[in-house]
Amino acid sequence: MKTSELTGRALDYAMYKHACKVSGKAPTDAEFDQGYKSGQFHFHQDKALLLDLVETYKINTQYLAQEWLASTTKASAWGETPLIAVCRLVLALSY
């Protein structure tokens, strides 16, 4: 599946794997499933995460044509919310 098509749980799972990679931890389906059920790893809804990602990856966001665009000098991604666009961009930058 393309990064631009990721939504909901699939987007959260991809972000979980990215976070594990960045932190040097091995991702497991069991940890993700258990954490997701208890309210963790809902990256696409975690508004506190938005500022951290924007600052870390030097991301610009703007609302255009009824969608959000997240961009850097290297790539861009669209989303229904700023956070979804930013998550998709972070994943695109990691490939």
Would you kindly state where each structural domain of the chain is located, as residue ranges?
3-94
Q: What is the pLDDT of residue 1?
A: 76
Q: Residue 4: which residues within 8 A CB-CB, separation 6 or more?
A: 77, 78, 88, 92
Length of the chain: 95
Tell me how far apart the alpha carbons of residues 65 and 48 are, in angstroms, rounded to a whole number. 25
Residues 43-61 pLDDT 10s: 999 999 999 999 999 999 9
Mean pLDDT of 51-76: 97
- Rama region for 8: left / alpha / beta (φ>0; ψ in -120 to 50; rest): left
> Global pTM?
0.94
